[in-house]
């Protein structure tokens, strides 16, 4: 037993918790934990209302398998969300859509009347549904406190709870004047509620299974003794299966179109990838929810068999039966969560529709045009706040006067069927270009009429007035012909209404010529993937418009600063000069988008239309332009690809050209050097020859010296020429390498031997450091000796007397590394790379008489490169180190090179 | 996600639609028991579970 007061305090604390969560989430918007996909996926569970929480258990206990379709329907559709919802989210994002009414009516030519009709349909469907939630809150409250239901509004505790919910929704739901903004606070609170209701139903399920009974099989065994048990857990033949299937279809459509689902799944979607998480998470959530319904329902029947209790409230009655107040309160709070979250989201999304699609476009646009931003913003939010209260009061009225006696289940299903009437227009918008406004509206109205006469009047009129009389009776009799004997009432009406609705929609659409504007949006909707990047280009508009006029309108809603900012972004995006006076179609669409979130798409269009003059444009023209722009988009793509290719080609060409120029220079330099190098010995030879020829009286020893000079210079000349030829051959790969397994130490010894006496002469200390594990490597020995001699000879030249030359042999990562260090003059840093160029020394040592051909290092480099290795020089400490690296397996590398 | 992988999920949707429709659903409409529970319930929940696993695998595997 729980006192009313205590329970009310608990409810207050619970509501305070929701406020706190919403507040924190709004404050910490950017935090990772608030931005995760599970909050999105959990918020979708606003689908599970009191109908699910209490109603399903009633259905499971009284009519068996029929409790499953409202879950099976959604799980059939959810995997396809990857396609459906991703596209709706994109369409809504680029068009700043803030409600279901906006989404459908924009597609059918951004029609004000259509969006108003949709709003009314939603109100018709959802207000009783909200009433249902209030009913559940009130009934369970009295059930838990074991007090009689109160007829007086002022003493009914549900009244106060509802007022608090209205306050909460109107505060957090209207925080942003732009309705397409994300309301993180509300969504986080809803996600928490979704978690709590699941948590509480799990606790209850475990309580029933393990406390009230001895495990699941105990319930099952006892329940299977009921006479109707087997019948309840099978279909009643084909008829039962048919009914079941239609119910699945009804809820499958509802999960996509219900305004609260559209709001949480589309409008509040922050990132497209969150949909992916929802695709597996939400069915899992529903599965856990549903698994416990079976034991609770049958457990309840076992406990209360023969007593006059409402099976819908087994979940509260069971813990109460066992005097467990804690679990009773838990279950009550779980039910309260389902009710509250449904009421909040429905109230918010319906209030947006009421304000943006009904009140503003039909009543207040003129007023808005003359007021400033602050007043307009205040007015818009006030309209929404007023709408939320109006809706909840309407729902309350509904609960008090119409649905007090009906079950949760039937009200919920009727609401699904009514909302289902939007399905043809909704799915048509996504997949069918040719659907027209006239077809959609007429189909919708016809379907609605069938629902109204077939379901709503009998349901609510009966509950109010019990008996049908007179003309109405006769009318219903006349329609008896259409009743389908094997379907129950709700599937029947769903079948007929959807059949007539879809039939009219499609037939009228194909027989009436569409309006150019709706065809324009049809293309944008169906081909959203193509237009996602520059959707403003896809909007076709022709006429005269001035930026200043439109700016004036924008300022009235956005304020001066925001308008300027938006214009700057627009100009930047399309690289338009800020001084441009006339507005083009892109600017019109851009401005409509800016206004759409605040006053709805239809009103935005009307406002912009007021200051612009649109020229007539035929459907054919629109189609042509769209075709062109589509072609343009693909063409652009192709052109970009081609120009990228061209760019790459020209880059390659430029590089090739640059390297050719460099090579050309090198060749010139080389020729110069060769000429210079050749001239030096020739000059010496010539002058010696001249002296010998001119003067016969030269003493013999001087004559001999001159002759010796001629011989050495000739030797040098032929050495140079040999080296040049050799280098040329190396460069052109004409010298075949003779690669064998050799002992590197022996090769080194062979290279050093001829130099030994020179080394001794200069009194140079030569040493080796051997860090090798093995000495057999693959290389061309003759070339290697040449390489060693070149490097060592070079080192000898620059090492001062009594200096040091040290050779270090080591192995790293399949490489043989040879470092030859000599003390002496260092090489200028900028020349370190150039010393391997041909004739490097001669350029810098012109004053001195050059020794050697000046090609030694160039040849060395070529030799190393030919064997797949690398050589470099660096200044280290007191001298210079040459580092030679050679790969261990030269043969393989060579083979690869040849193959290539 | 690539179009091909998107289509896997759409196929799953269609598969579920078929699995819960006549005549497939009627195949399991029997008073017999499987693992000690009504066949229909086992069928519904098994398909449900499998669809969750398939969606999960597709979504995680082909996430980009």
Q: Are strands A815-823 and A879-887 parallel, antiparallel or unpaired?
A: antiparallel
When CB atoms are compared, the residue of B21, B36, B52 closest to A284 is: B52
Let me know: does A468 contact A535? Beta carbons within 8 Å: no
A contacts of B52 (beta carbons < 8 Å): 280, 283-284, 287
Residue A233 touches chain B, beta carbons under 8 Å: yes
A contacts of B30 (beta carbons < 8 Å): 234
- Per-residue pLDDT of B7-40, as tens digits, reads 899 999 999 999 988 888 888 887 777 777 788 8
Residue A83 touches chain B, beta carbons under 8 Å: yes
Q: Does domain A4-28+41-408 have CATH number 3.40.50.410?
A: no
* H-state helical runs in A778-869: 781-798, 840-844, 856-866
What fold, for A623-727?
Helix Hairpins (1.10.287)
Q: Is A634 exposed, middle or buried (0-12, 13-18, 19+ CB in 10 A)?
A: exposed
CA A803 to chain centre: 69
Q: A231 to chain B, minimum CA–CA distance in Å?
A: 8
The residue count for chain B: 64
pLDDT along chain A (900 residues), means of 10: 80 88 80 79 91 86 85 93 92 89 90 91 88 86 79 70 83 78 86 92 91 86 82 81 90 92 92 90 93 89 84 88 88 90 90 89 79 83 88 84 62 87 93 90 93 79 58 72 82 92 94 84 85 76 85 86 88 82 85 86 86 81 76 77 90 92 82 79 83 81 84 84 81 77 85 81 84 82 83 82 85 84 80 73 47 73 84 83 80 48
What is the CATH number assigned to the segment(s) A735-887? 3.30.565.10
When CB atoms are compared, the residue of A241, A273, A280 closest to B56 is: A280
A contacts of B25 (beta carbons < 8 Å): 235, 241, 244-245
CB contact under 8 A, B22 and A245: yes
Which of the 8 DSSP states describes residue A849?
Answer: P
Distance between CA A386 and CA A350 in Å, rounded? 12
CB contact under 8 A, A235 and B25: yes
Please write down the HEC assignment for all residues of A513-566. CCCHHHHHHHHHHHCHHHHCCCHHHHCCCCEECEHHHHHHHHHHHHCHHHHHHH
CB contact under 8 A, A235 and B29: yes
Q: How many CB atoms lie within 10 A of CB A262?
A: 28
CB contact under 8 A, A83 and B59: no
Cβ-based interface (< 8 Å): residues of B facing A: 1, 6, 9-10, 12-13, 16-17, 20-22, 25-26, 29-31, 36-38, 40-41, 44-45, 48-49, 51-52, 55-56, 59, 63
Q: Is A163 exposed, middle or buried (0-12, 13-18, 19+ CB in 10 A)?
A: middle
Q: B53 falls in which pLDDT band (50, 70, 90)?
A: very high
ipTM for the predicted complex: 0.96
Which of the 8 DSSP states describes residue A306?
Answer: T
Which pLDDT score is estimated for A618? Answer: 78
Which pLDDT score is estimated for A746? Answer: 86
Residue of chain B minimizing CA distance to A236: B29
* Sequence-ordered list of residues with C-beta below 8 angstroms from that of A414, at least 6 positions apart, any chain: A125, A128, A451, A455, A456, A459, A490
Tokens standing for A552?
């004036």
Distance between CA A131 and CA A327 in Å, rounded? 26
Which pLDDT score is estimated for A285? Answer: 94
Domain spans of chain A, in order of start: 4-28+41-408, 537-616, 623-727, 735-887
Residue A414 main-chain phi, psi, to 5 deg: -60, -45
> Who wins on pLDDT, A763 or B54?
B54
Residue A887 main-chain phi, psi, to 5 deg: -70, 150
* Sequence-ordered list of residues with C-beta below 8 angstroms from that of A544, at least 6 positions apart, any chain: A582, A612, A613, A615
| CA-angle at A67, arms to A62 and A72, nearest 5° | 165
Q: A222 to chain B, minimum CA–CA distance in Å?
A: 13
pTM tops 0.80, yes or no: no
When CB atoms are compared, the residue of A76, A220, A245 closest to B13 is: A76
Number of A–B residue contacts, CB under 8 Å: 87
Portion 237-296 of A in contact with B at CB < 8 A:
237-238, 240-242, 244-245, 248, 273, 276-277, 279-280, 283-284, 287, 291, 294
Preferred mutation among B3, B6, B29, B35 to probe A, highest tally of A CBs within 10 A: B29
């Amino acid at each position: 037993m729980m006192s009313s007061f205590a329970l009310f305090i608990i409810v207050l604390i619970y509501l305070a918790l929701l406020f706190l969560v919403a507040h924190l989430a709004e404050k910490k918007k950017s935090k990772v934990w608030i931005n995760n996909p599970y909050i999105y996926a959990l918020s979708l569970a606003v689908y599970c209302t009191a109908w699910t929480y209490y109603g399903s258990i009633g259905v499971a206990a009284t009519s068996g398998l029929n409790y499953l379709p409202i879950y099976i329907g959604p799980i059939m559709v959810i995997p396809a969300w990857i396609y459906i919802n991703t596209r709706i989210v994109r369409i809504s994002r680029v068009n700043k859509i803030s409600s279901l009414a906006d989404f459908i009516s924009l597609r059918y030519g951004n029609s004000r009347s259509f969006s108003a009709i949709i709003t009314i349909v939603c109100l018709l469907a959802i207000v009783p549904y909200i009433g249902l939630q209030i009913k559940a809150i009130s009934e369970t409250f009295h059930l838990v406190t074991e007090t009689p239901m109160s007829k007086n509004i002022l003493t009914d505790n549900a009244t106060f709870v509802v007022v608090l919910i209205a306050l909460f929704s109107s505060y957090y739901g209207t925080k942003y004047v732009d309705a397409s903004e994300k309301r993180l606070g509300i969504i986080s609170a809803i996600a928490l509620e979704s978690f709590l209701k699941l948590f509480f139903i799990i606790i209850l399920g475990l309580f029933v299974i393990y406390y009230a009974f001895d495990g699941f099989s105990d319930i099952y065994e006892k329940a299977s003794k009921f006479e109707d048990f087997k019948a309840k857990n099978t279909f009643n033949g084909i008829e039962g299966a048919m009914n079941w299937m239609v119910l699945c279809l009804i809820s499958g459509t509802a999960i996509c179109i219900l305004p609260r689902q559209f709001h949480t799944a589309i409008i509040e979607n922050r990132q497209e990838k969150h949909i992916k998480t929802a695709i597996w998470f939400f069915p899992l959530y529903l599965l856990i929810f549903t698994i416990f319904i079976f034991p609770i329902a049958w457990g309840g029947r076992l406990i209360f068999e023969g007593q006059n209790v409402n099976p819908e409230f087994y979940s509260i009655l069971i813990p109460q039966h066992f005097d467990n107040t804690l679990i009773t309160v838990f279950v009550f709070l779980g039910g309260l969560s389902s009710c509250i979250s449904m009421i909040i989201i429905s109230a918010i999304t319906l209030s947006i529709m009421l304000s943006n699609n009904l009140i503003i476009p039909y009543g207040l646009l003129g007023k808005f045009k003359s007021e400033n931003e602050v007043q307009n913003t205040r007015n818009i939010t006030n309209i929404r706040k007023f709408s939320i209260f109006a809706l909840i009061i309407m729902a309350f009225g509904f609960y008090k006067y119409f649905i007090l006696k009906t079950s949760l289940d039937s009200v919920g299903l009727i609401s699904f069927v009514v909302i289902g009437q939007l399905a043809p227009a909704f799915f048509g918008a996504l997949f069918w270009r040719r659907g027209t406004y006239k077809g959609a509206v007429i189909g919708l109205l016809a379907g609605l009429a069938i629902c109204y006469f077939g379901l709503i009047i009998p349901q609510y009129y009966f509950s109010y007035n019990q008996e049908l009389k007179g003309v109405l009776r006769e009318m219903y009799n006349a329609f008896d012909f259409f009743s389908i004997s094997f379907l129950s009432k709700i599937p029947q009406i769903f079948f007929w209404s959807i059949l007539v609705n879809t039939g009219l929609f499609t037939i009228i659409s194909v027989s009436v010529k569409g309006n150019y504007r709706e065809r324009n949006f049809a293309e944008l909707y169906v081909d959203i993937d193509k237009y996602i990047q520059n959707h403003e280009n896809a909007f076709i508009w022709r006429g005269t418009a001035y930026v200043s006029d439109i700016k004036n309108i924008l300022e009235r809603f956005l304020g001066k600063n925001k308008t300027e900012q938006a214009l700057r972004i627009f100009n930047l995006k399309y690289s338009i000069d800020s001084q441009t006076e006339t507005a083009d179609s892109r600017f019109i669409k851009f401005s409509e988008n800016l206004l759409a979130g605040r006053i709805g798409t239809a009103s935005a269009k009307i406002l912009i239309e007021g200051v612009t003059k649109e020229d007539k444009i035929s459907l054919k023209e629109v189609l042509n332009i769209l075709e062109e722009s589509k072609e343009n988009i693909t063409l652009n793509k192709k052109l970009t690809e081609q120009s990228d290719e061209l760019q790459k080609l020209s880059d390659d060409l430029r590089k090739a050209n640059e390297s050719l120029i460099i090579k050309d220079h090198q060749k010139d330099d080389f020729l110069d050097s060769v000429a210079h190098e050749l001239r030096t010995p020739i000059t010496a030879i010539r002058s010696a020859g001249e002296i010998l020829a001119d003067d016969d009286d030269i003493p013999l020893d001087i004559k001999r010296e001159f002759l010796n000079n001629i011989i050495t210079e000739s030797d040098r000349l032929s050495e140079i020429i040999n080296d040049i030829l050799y280098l040329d051959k190396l460069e052109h790969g004409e010298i075949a390498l003779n690669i064998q397994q050799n002992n590197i130490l022996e090769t080194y010894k062979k290279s050093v031997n001829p130099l030994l006496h020179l080394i001794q002469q200069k009194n140079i200390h030569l040493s080796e450091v051997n860090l090798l594990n093995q000495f057999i490597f693959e290389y061309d020995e003759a070339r290697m000796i040449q390489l060693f001699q070149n490097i060592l000879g070079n080192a000898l030249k620059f090492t001062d007397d009594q200096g040091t030359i040290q050779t270090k042999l080591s192995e790293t990562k399949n490489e043989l590394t040879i470092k030859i260090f000599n003390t002496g003059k260092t090489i200028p840093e900028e020349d370190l790379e150039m010393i391997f160029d041909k004739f490097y020394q001669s350029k810098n040592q012109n004053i001195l008489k050059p020794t050697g051909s000046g090609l030694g290092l160039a040849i060395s480099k070529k030799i190393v490169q030919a064997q797949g290795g690398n050589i470099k020089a660096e200044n280290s400490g007191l001298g210079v180190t040459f580092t030679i690296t050679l790969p261990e397996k030269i043969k393989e590398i060579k083979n690869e090179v040849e193959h290539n | 996600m690539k179009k091909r992988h998107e289509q896997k999920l759409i196929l799953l949707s269609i598969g579920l639609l078929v699995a819960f429709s006549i005549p497939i659903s009627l195949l399991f409409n029997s008073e017999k028991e499987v693992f000690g529970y009504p066949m229909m319930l086992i069928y519904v929940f098994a398909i449900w579970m499998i669809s969750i696993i398939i969606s999960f695998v597709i979504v995680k595997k082909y996430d980009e």
